[in-house]
Amino acid sequence: MSAIGIDLGTTNSATSSYDPERKEVSVLTNSSGKNLTPSVVGLYRRDGAERFIVGDTAVKWAARQPRETVVSVKRLMGRAFADPLVEQAREKLSYEITQGPDGDPRARVRMGDRVLSPDQVSALILRQLAQDASRSLGEEVTHAVITVPAYFGDAQRAATRDAAEQAELVVKKIIDEPTAAAVAFGLHKKSGERSRILVYDLGGGTFDISILHAVKNEEGHGQFHVLRFDGDSWLGGDDFDQAIVDRIVTWVKDTYGIDPSGDKNFLYAAKEQAEQAKWELNAQESTDIVILAAHRAPDGTVIDVEMPLTRSEFDGLIEPMVRRTMTLVDKTLTDEGLTADDITDVLLVGGSTLTRAVYETVENRFGKDKVRRNINPMECVALGAGILAGTLHAIECPEPECQRLNAESATECEDCGRSLANARSVGDTGLHEVTGPAMGIAAVRGSQRDVFVPIIPSGTPYPLPEPRRQTFETTDGRRIRVPVYEGNQSVASRNVEQGVIEFELPEDIGLHRRVEVSFNYSLDRIIKVRISVPGTDLVKEDTPNRDQQGPPAAQHEEQDAAGLGPTLEHVAKETREFLADYEEYMEPSQRMKVERDLELVQRALDRGESGEYARLTDLLLTDMYNHCGLASKLMQAKRATDGASPQLGQQIIEAVGHVRTAHERGNREQVTQQARNLTNLVARAMDERSVAEVPTAEDYGSHLRVPIDRLDT
């Protein structure tokens, strides 16, 4: 058995191997004799046959067939087709991104007549990397430590593991890229030396910041404690290239009056030249971008590109992105209670840190003496993964009174029998990590739906010694639906849905029971969910079903046949009228949420996503009647007067007038007082049952409810 480290990058990938006797790690060369393999997959055709090509070979053929050459597939891993980031990729990438078959919400890529998932494409890259590594080492590679961006969510990590399994690799560990880089850096530290390291990792497609404590023990092995991390999963060197591509498109428009942005071949050629210009401007003040026969105009004219670009112009194009990275750096330091002075070492990781404007900005912030550039930033992640592949050799039992070291292949502790599903990989290199965004569920809190209830908070030390638990109550009936979300927003739908857990309560269990939901992570920080009803034998253990992100279409098939589409259109029309009538009474954040939800509705209607109609109808009703503060109170009052008794109706109208007057005068205290009086009058109207009830979510979509005794927590 041979184990390697793999940096599965957005633009390039690399592998490495650790020699435990010499305590040295080295990057392995590929079949082209190079250290880096382009993360590119193409479809090669000859004599009626087809086969996939990977790496440098795929790059050579890309100019001929840009629509059948997949690049930057890492950005699509684990994402739904409707994800705004995927929509952004569809506009910029040369190949077709499509929806999965049979209602599968996940993104797919089309290559010729074939439709592949991003993990299938990544599996082709991983298989090529493993084959090249086997050739280089002279023995078969079977195991690997694979790196991912620190801010990769649960779905992205699961997709990475799926890709490795399809490539017939045993995954020893999925490790965060900045942590792997710190491990590689620690190899050069002296025994006993302590560091507080900030890793600035700007790759082709993602940006990560991690802060770690590191110390090298007397045996020469590093111990690493991850303190905090943050990042942007859609910011990297590809975006630098795209900024130049956009500049080329503008130049063609200004010079020839023609828009070439719909020409996939032109965009691919522009992307190649943009990347070359980016590197040239590190060493020189200006360069010329030349693309002969770049585009054919509608009248048949062939257009050449001959555009000058200076370093100062390039720096201006990428300045907002570089500034964004430093904003995230400052936020991460502040969240950990640190300043730049508290950092002993800054590691520049990822090929994009070779860009002059990037490394000069970091040096200006921390000082040149702290910025370490003694390891190739394009290779250090792979080197760290290789060290871990060679030095992690056991799984520690999580039982505090046991802690036996078990073989890597074990699923249960050989001594106490405890499950090793959430155990920690251990070895000569010590790793102590923390979780990323919070993980929780969408639930009902009071009269509010779409509430995010965290179960594992952000920054929790990982692996967890015990699962994290929360108690809820059932709502509608025997159907239990638990949507799992990852993120830090209080509104569940603003976070990233990981999938759902669904089941039916047996007839012998009464309704409105308490339900316990517990979360834990697997070795690779992939969420495991356990749902139980205390006092019964009912236990449901599962991972979220990502095939049902968002309400499954089948769930609403009958309702949709009865006209849910027109209903959603009608409610959207009412919501637009609500926005027009009451916008002045909303906070900016409330108005932005309503506008965003209306955009989601329009997108779902345009795409015919009928499985979303019920949820979005419910979301708009909640926006109007519950989530918009004073505007919602005024909307409720208007509804209440329609069927109220004449006397009470008149009182409500007068109370509305008082609220509006106080608001116009800017008297917040009086607004609050008058709004309270209005709320009481509306409640009286509803108690009299003279009007239809204001929509308040009688149907909670089988979601769980936060118990009354926990409403303030």
Start-end ranges of CATH 2.60.34.10 in the chain? Answer: 439-553+704-708
pLDDT of 601 over the 60 cut = yes
Q: What is the pLDDT of residue 691?
A: 34
CB contact set of 466 (below 8 Å; sequence gap of 6+): 520
pLDDT bin (cut points 50, 70, 90) of residue 188 is: low
CB contact set of 301 (below 8 Å; sequence gap of 6+): none
Counting residues of the chain whose pLDDT is more than 90, the rounded percentage is 37
pLDDT bin (cut points 50, 70, 90) of residue 186 is: confident
Q: What is the pLDDT of residue 59?
A: 92
CATH class of 237-317: alpha beta
From residue 668, how far is each of 659, 661, 664, 665, 682 by CA, in Å?
A: 10, 11, 10, 9, 21
Tokens for 172?
């020893």
Category of 102 on φ-ψ map: left (φ > 0), alpha (ψ -120 to 50) or beta: left
Of 92 and 453, the one with more pLDDT: 453
DSSP code per residue over 33-60: S-S-EE--EEEEEETTEEEEEETHHHHH
Residue with tokens 């497609």: 205
Q: What is the pLDDT of residue 694?
A: 39
Q: How far apart are CA 383 and CA 265, in angstroms?
A: 36
Residue-wise pLDDT for 330-349, tens only, equals 999 998 899 999 999 999 99
Mean pLDDT of 29-48: 91
Start-end ranges of CATH 3.90.640.10 in the chain? Answer: 237-317
CATH class of 2-188: alpha beta
Q: How far apart are CA 164 and CA 160, in angstroms?
A: 6
Q: What is the pLDDT of residue 670?
A: 85
SS3 of residue 514 by DSSP:
strand
Mean pLDDT of 194-209: 89
pLDDT bin (cut points 50, 70, 90) of residue 403 is: confident
Q: What is the DSSP letter of 150?
A: T
- CATH architecture for residues 439-553+704-708: Sandwich (2.60)
pLDDT of 187 over the 60 cut = no
| Strand partners for 456 | 439
Range in 147-156, 482-491, 600-609 with the lowest mean pLDDT: 600-609
Angle among Cα 539, 542, 547 to the nearest 5 degrees reads 135
pLDDT bin (cut points 50, 70, 90) of residue 476 is: low
Q: What is the pLDDT of residue 96?
A: 92
Please say whether the beta carbons of 70 and 40 come within 8 A: yes
SS3 of residue 395 by DSSP:
strand
Q: Could you write out the three-class secondary structure of 168-228? A: CCEEEEEEEHHHHHHHHHHCCCCCCCEEEEEEEEECCCCEEEEEEEEEECCCCCEEEEEEE
Highest mean pLDDT among 249-253, 654-658, 695-699: 249-253
Residue 329's CB: how many other CB atoms inside 10 A?
23
Mean pLDDT of 531-558: 64
Q: How far apart are CA 80 and CA 97, in angstroms?
A: 11
pLDDT bin (cut points 50, 70, 90) of residue 222 is: low
Listed residue (599, 603, 639) closest to 620, CA to CA: 599
Burial class (CB in 10 A: 0-12, 13-18, 19+), 558: exposed
Beta strands in 55-101, from DSSP E residues, in sequence order:
69-70, 96-99
pLDDT bin (cut points 50, 70, 90) of residue 555 is: very low
From residue 85, how far is each of 50, 149, 403, 437, 589 by CA, in Å?
A: 31, 16, 42, 18, 22
Residue 480's CB: how many other CB atoms inside 10 A?
24
Please say whether the beta carbons of 623 and 597 come within 8 A: yes
Residue-wise pLDDT for 420-459, tens only, equals 766 777 776 767 788 878 999 999 887 677 889 999 998 8
User: Model pTM?
Assistant: 0.69
Give the number of residues written for the chain. 713
SS3 of residue 146 by DSSP:
strand
Start-end ranges of CATH 3.30.420.40 in the chain? Answer: 2-188
Number of separate helices (H) and strands (E) present in the chain:
17, 32
pLDDT of 226 over the 70 cut = yes
Q: Could you write out the three-class secondary structure of 437-497? A: CCEEEEEEECCEEEEEEEEECCCCEECCCCCEEEEEECCCCCEEEEEEEECCCCEHHHCEE
From residue 252, how far is each of 272, 287, 295 by CA, in Å?
A: 17, 17, 10
Range in 2-6, 200-204, 435-439 with the lowest mean pLDDT: 435-439
Pairing verdict, β 107-111 and 96-99:
antiparallel
Of 684 and 165, the one with more pLDDT: 165
**Considering the chain, what is the average pLDDT of its residues?**
84
Highest mean pLDDT among 83-92, 111-120, 211-220, 409-418: 111-120
From residue 139, how far is each of 19, 34, 134, 377 by CA, in Å?
A: 14, 19, 5, 28
pLDDT of 256 over the 70 cut = yes
Tokens for 366?
């921390």
Q: What is the pLDDT of residue 91?
A: 79
Q: What is the pLDDT of residue 551?
A: 36
Q: How far apart are CA 359 and CA 3, in angstroms?
A: 33
Mean pLDDT of 504-511: 80
Residue 132's CB: how many other CB atoms inside 10 A?
21
Mean pLDDT of 36-45: 94
Mean pLDDT of 606-628: 74
pLDDT of 554 over the 60 cut = no
